[in-house]
Structure 1
Amino acid sequence: MVLSLTGLEAPRGGKTRRWVSLAVLGLFFVTLGFGCKGLSQQERAAVKPVTLNYWTVFNDTEELKRLASEYRQLRPYVKVNIRQVRYEEFDRLFLNALADDVAPDVVSLHARWIKKYQNRLAEMPASVSTARLIVKGGLTKETQVVVDTTPMPGIGDIKRDYVGAVANDVIIGEAVYGLPIALDTLAIYYNKDLLDKANIAEPPATWDEFLEAVKKTTKFGPDGKIVQSGAALGTANNIDNAFDILSVLMMQNGVKMAAKGSVQFASGLDKAGETHPSLQALRFYTDFARPTKESYSWNETMEPALDAFVRGKAVFYFGFAYDSSRITSRAPELNLEVIPLPQLNPSAPVNVANYWVEAVVKKSKHQNEAWDFIRFMTAPDQAKRYALSTGRPSAYRTQIKELADNPRLGPFVSQTLIAENWYHGEDITQAEKAFDDLITATLRPYADKDDPTKRDAGFIATAAQMAQQTF
């Protein structure tokens, strides 16, 4: 039996299926001690059983199991164990696992977590070496162990093949720290029946139209309390996506959020005052929670935004593609539609990128297999299958046009080219808290001695300082 070294991937098509099935059979015999006579020590080492422990948070676990199963057909000696970890528990569990030397091999990290965990992650290699078993011959069978040296996507490949947000997030210096299987963007869900009842035939396409729709669909009771919200906007305590919504409003208004490690959304506040684009965006957002404003449709005493929307108590909900299954599972009869986010300046559109990156832990003893599995699961054909199955957009440029025609995916996919992350610090939780505190402070009533512009500008400056501390 011969150990063959080749720079080719496993053959594709019908021949692959035949070779894989024989390889599985051959591995079965090798494992039991039959048919392994003559295998060299190098050959045995190449197909030694490997278990990859993979932690994920929000990825679709059924799709991940399919990917793990298909990968095992290609590499029968590799088993992938998938564990879903709660978002709020990931940091504690991961750090404890690292300390106890029982860390996973592969982790799914939010793109905004990469800098935080950078020192714990392996840099993606230029290539990986993994083995296959093939059986050749007629009456006399010969088993070969074939070692594939497979190139990984390089920096140039990532910049060419993926939408721009990916390269900006996963490449630090000259190193790549992971690859995505999907990339999400912010859109607006709406209750079509409630729009119809308000005699609004078409969903809003601009922010002005959106404001009119909110005013027409917000209803108040005899006591002045909101009984139907036009839009769940304006607060922080009961809106999960407040950080992203306020960020994108600022960016659409021309704000440079950060550059070269410096938080900049408060720059020039002292000179611009009332006309500063960050202050304008902040007030546009918080006006939805101010009873004195025409756009008033929400406040801090109301239930969580998603809960109100699925119960038919809110007409518009700002969310991501992953929210779709959460909404339909809780409200299957809801006449649900989605529209892309309106743009303040159509000639310079912008959205936010919200997605997860598959990365390898530096302590993993199975670097080749871990990176090869990531290469396999994030390949274009797998990303497309994942998108169609889960409703989460692909990050590949070549798939945008096709997936944009999909009713479920279209509103989100159509925005992937203009989506970006401004935050590249080490503690997104603190940055989100800074925005939450900014929104909450801005909603407080003005004291008689307050200069509203100076007060709110001060809150923006404080939020920028808090965010800067994490860079």
Structure 2
Amino acid sequence: MVNREETQHFTKIDIEDDQPRPIFETIPVAPEQNKEVFVADKADKDTSSKIEVEPVIIRDETFGTPPPLSSPEDFTPLPEIEEKETNHLKVYVVLGIVFFIVVASFVFLFNTLRKKITPKQVKLVYWSLWEDKPVMDPLITAYRKDHKNITIDYIKQSPESFREKVITQTKDGRGPDLFRFHNTWVPMLHDTLSPLPKNIMTNDEFEKTFYEIVREDMKVGNAYYGIPLYIDDLVLLYNNDFFKRVGITSPPKTWDELVTYAKQLTVPSATGDPVTSGIALGTAGNIEHFTDILGWMLLQNGADLKDVSSVEGEQVLKKYREFAEAPNPIWSEKMTNNVAAFQEGKVAMIFAPSWQIANIKAANSNLDMKVAELPVLPGESEPFSIANYWVEGVTRTSKHQKEAWEFLKYLSSRQAQTKLFELQVKARGLGSVSSRVDLKDTLLQNEILAPIISQAKYLKSIPTISRTFDNGLNDQINSYLEDAVNNAQNGVSYDEAMEKAQIGISSVLEKYNIK
């Protein structure tokens, strides 16, 4: 390589003009006239085939010596525009997310407050029995004053096949939200009824509010499945005019007194059949509620449906049939229906649930009818009776169970129960005994309802209740009891009649898983 210090010669060329020129250029400038240019002469032009091209430097003494070339490390990089734009985009995204969260929170809060201020509209379908709309509508209207979002469609149903209708349509999703059922139906409705939520009524509150029989009938496991609005049981109805004629001043207290009074009050015909009966007992075909009576007698005598063929069960059938057997029958299968006979003054005493009282009074307002507790066996003191009442429940498939139970709790309140009694009296002349224990003292002065209240704390339930129209537990058992009475009437022995009845009754109990 040629040594620059030794071979370079510079020739001075005068610059014609004094215009400023670049300090240095990387492209050689073509020589012009009257200009001197320093050109590097190569000392050895042919020493190597590889020629190094040296940069041409143009000097201008006006600006002095040019600064040395800088290395890339000496340059300060310019700010990167893309990085700045990316940072701005991130800020916008964050702000957008924050804005969305704020707006979403506001919308959620607004909707929550709106829901609290304006509850959702709820329609409850209520299928019931016995009570007419004029009785229930005022209670529904009063409830809706404080629950404007609740609409209650009260529908009074026919009792025939009512139980099957509730079960079938509830399974299909077309059933009611609330419905009425008999106190003996719980084993048949285990897939239909929903339990009473404890946040609406605790077990302790339930047990303090209602009679003990309700606690026994409605409890399955640790939950209750219905709220009753009233209580009813079997009572003794007697014609006080008949009693006065023979000098009887008070109703019978024991079975022995009952038999004695019945004989005194019976007026036989020349053929021996009664013209006027002392009491309607002993047959099946013309006595309403005869299965209620037999169920009560079975429990009173220490028997039950699991052993009607026992000695105690046979004794009950014998005792019942004696009232209609020769030679001196007190009652006869030739007599008219017992309730109609009582209304017409042809029988002095009948056993019936209290709801029959209003029907009898409506049929014969001049009848001097009195109500008494049931007679007890010798040695007994408590007026034991059979429970026969209806309960309000909520279906398991209802979409508004909470609202339905809250409405039923309202119906069982003191205020609503007092109003319900007034409406019943207005509609039919007689109200029902409240299911609430704390209201019993308000009705003890009512001579018609007082015996029902006195027996209420001694009630027991047994599925031999007539006129439930359930086509199930009660009706099927009652058919076997009817066979037993008719078989005995036709000469079959009491033990054989009850043994046949036991076979059928046991199959019914097994069908509904009653042990």
TM-score range (shorter-chain normalised) is 0.7 to 0.9
Relative to structure 1, the CA distance from residue 400 to residue 305 in structure 2 (aligned partners, 3 Å threshold; closer, same or farther) is same
Find the aligned partners of 1:218 and 1:463 in 2 and give their Cα distance.
Answer: 36
CA contact (8 A) 2:254 2:375 kept: yes
Instruction: Say whether residues 1:334 and 2:367 are aligned partners.
Output: yes
Alignment RMSD, CA only? 2.5
Which amino acid in structure 2 is aligned with residue 444 of structure 1?
N
Relative to structure 1, the CA distance from residue 61 to residue 408 in structure 2 (aligned partners, 3 Å threshold; closer, same or farther) is farther
Name which of 400, 420, 423 aligns with 2:440.
400
Which amino acid in structure 1 is aligned with residue 456 of structure 2?
T
Find the aligned partners of 1:96 and 1:253 in 2 and give their Cα distance.
Answer: 39
CA contact (8 A) 2:233 2:388 kept: yes
Find the aligned partners of 1:108 and 1:401 in 2 and give their Cα distance.
Answer: 26
Name which of 359, 367, 384 aligns with 2:393.
359
Q: Which moved more, 1:89-98 or 1:337-346?
A: 89-98
Which amino acid in structure 2 is aligned with residue 386 of structure 1?
L
Relative to structure 1, the CA distance from residue 467 to residue 442 in structure 2 (aligned partners, 3 Å threshold; closer, same or farther) is farther
1:177 positional shift: 1.0
Instruction: Say whether residues 1:189 and 2:237 are aligned partners.
Output: yes
**Matched residue, 2:454:** 414
Instruction: Say whether residues 1:322 and 2:363 are aligned partners.
Output: no
DSSP-derived class of the 1:445 partner: coil
DSSP-derived class of the 2:181 partner: strand
Instruction: Say whether residues 1:461 and 2:502 are aligned partners.
Output: yes
**Matched residue, 1:248:** 296
Q: How does 1:206-245 map to 2 (within 5 A)?
A: 206-245=254-293
Q: How does 1:381-392 map to 2 (within 5 A)?
A: 381-387=415-421, 389=425, 390-392=430-432
Which amino acid in structure 2 is aligned with residue 297 of structure 1?
I
Name which of 222, 227, 230 aligns with 1:179.
227
DSSP-derived class of the 1:47 partner: coil
Relative to structure 1, the CA distance from residue 381 to residue 346 in structure 2 (aligned partners, 3 Å threshold; closer, same or farther) is farther
For 1:24-76, what per-residue CA distance to the aligned partner results, in whole angstroms no more than 9, with x for missing partners? xxxxxxxxxxxxxx973663485233221111113464332222111111211
CA contact (8 A) 1:434 1:467 kept: no
Instruction: Say whether residues 1:280 and 2:352 are aligned partners.
Output: no
Which amino acid in structure 2 is aligned with residue 431 of structure 1?
I
CA contact (8 A) 1:234 1:298 kept: yes
Instruction: Say whether residues 1:427 and 2:476 are aligned partners.
Output: no
CA contact (8 A) 1:252 1:349 kept: no
**Matched residue, 2:346:** 313
**Matched residue, 1:85:** 157
Relative to structure 1, the CA distance from residue 51 to residue 413 in structure 2 (aligned partners, 3 Å threshold; closer, same or farther) is same
1:112 positional shift: 0.9
DSSP-derived class of the 1:72 partner: helix
Q: How does 1:294-305 map to 2 (within 5 A)?
A: 294=328, 296-305=329-338
Name which of 290, 305, 312 aligns with 2:325.
290
What TM-score, normalized to structure 1?
0.76
For 1:351-410, what per-residue CA distance to the aligned partner results, in whole angstroms no more than 9, with x for missing partners? 111111100011212112111110100123333443464432222233334422322310
CA contact (8 A) 1:230 1:297 kept: yes
Q: Which moved more, 1:458-467 or 1:351-360?
A: 458-467
Relative to structure 1, the CA distance from residue 415 to residue 217 in structure 2 (aligned partners, 3 Å threshold; closer, same or farther) is same
Find the aligned partners of 1:464 and 1:103 in 2 and give their Cα distance.
Answer: 31
Which amino acid in structure 2 is aligned with residue 280 of structure 1?
Q
**Matched residue, 2:16:** none
Find the aligned partners of 1:198 and 1:191 in 2 and give their Cα distance.
Answer: 12
Relative to structure 1, the CA distance from residue 197 to residue 432 in structure 2 (aligned partners, 3 Å threshold; closer, same or farther) is same
Find the aligned partners of 1:230 and 1:462 in 2 and give their Cα distance.
Answer: 34
CA contact (8 A) 1:243 1:432 kept: yes
CA contact (8 A) 1:309 1:316 kept: yes
CA contact (8 A) 2:308 2:498 kept: no
Name which of 349, 364, 375 aligns with 2:409.
375
Find the aligned partners of 2:494 and 2:273 in 1 and give their Cα distance.
Answer: 28
Where do 4+ consecutive residues of structure 1 move more than 6 Å? none
1:96 positional shift: 4.6
DSSP-derived class of the 2:139 partner: helix
CA contact (8 A) 2:412 2:436 kept: no
**Matched residue, 1:203:** 251
CA contact (8 A) 1:121 1:361 kept: yes
1:460 positional shift: 4.8
Find the aligned partners of 1:60 and 1:194 in 2 and give their Cα distance.
Answer: 35
DSSP-derived class of the 1:250 partner: helix
Relative to structure 1, the CA distance from residue 380 to residue 346 in structure 2 (aligned partners, 3 Å threshold; closer, same or farther) is farther
DSSP-derived class of the 2:126 partner: strand
Find the aligned partners of 1:96 and 1:220 in 2 and give their Cα distance.
Answer: 51
Q: How does 1:8-19 map to 2 (within 5 A)?
A: none
Find the aligned partners of 2:285 and 2:114 in 1 and give their Cα distance.
Answer: 59
What TM-score, normalized to structure 2?
0.70
Find the aligned partners of 2:134 and 2:275 in 1 and give their Cα distance.
Answer: 39
Relative to structure 1, the CA distance from residue 362 to residue 66 in structure 2 (aligned partners, 3 Å threshold; closer, same or farther) is same
Which is richer in strand?
Answer: 1
Relative to structure 1, the CA distance from residue 252 to residue 387 in structure 2 (aligned partners, 3 Å threshold; closer, same or farther) is farther
DSSP-derived class of the 1:415 partner: helix
Relative to structure 1, the CA distance from residue 61 to residue 212 in structure 2 (aligned partners, 3 Å threshold; closer, same or farther) is farther
**Matched residue, 1:75:** 147
Which amino acid in structure 2 is aligned with residue 184 of structure 1?
D
1:226 positional shift: 2.5
Q: Which moved more, 1:339-348 or 1:416-425?
A: 416-425
Relative to structure 1, the CA distance from residue 406 to residue 369 in structure 2 (aligned partners, 3 Å threshold; closer, same or farther) is same
Identity of aligned residues (%): 26
Instruction: Say whether residues 1:439 and 2:485 are aligned partners.
Output: yes
Relative to structure 1, the CA distance from residue 283 to residue 445 in structure 2 (aligned partners, 3 Å threshold; closer, same or farther) is same
* Higher RCO structure (Cα 8 Å, ≥6 apart): 1
